[in-house]
Amino acid sequence: MGNSLEERIHSVIDSFKEPFAADGGDLRAVRITPDAIDVRIVLGQDACRECIMPPEVTQEILASAIKNQFGIDLKVNVSLTDDSEQI
């Protein structure tokens, strides 16, 4: 395929960013390993917390998209944080 695992994962995450941005959030890959990825939903100051897709749902959707697009079965961990809580 030519793209590294990290590039492929980022392309999937990028394809889901728009709906999160519409509700004042962002979707970011925090860590990518050959077996798992850690993704953070970051809520901006004006984010609609009730509108953002729950981490559990996001986790299932991302894992399914990665498997469907690349045939890779990765564990996906998704956490939710406010912009002010970022490391």
Give the tens place of pLDDT for each residue, 45-57. 989 989 999 999 9
12 by Cβ neighbours in 10 Å (0-12 / 13-18 / 19+) ranks as buried
The reported pLDDT for the residue numbered 87 is: 47
Domains of the chain (ranges; CATH) run: 5-82 (3.30.300.130)
**75 strand-pairing partners:** 36
pLDDT under 70 in the chain at which residues? 1-2, 84-87
Q: What are phi and psi of 30, to 5 degrees?
A: -100, -40
**79 strand-pairing partners:** 40
The reported pLDDT for the residue numbered 61 is: 96
The reported pLDDT for the residue numbered 83 is: 78
| Run of H or E residues at 40 | strand 36-43
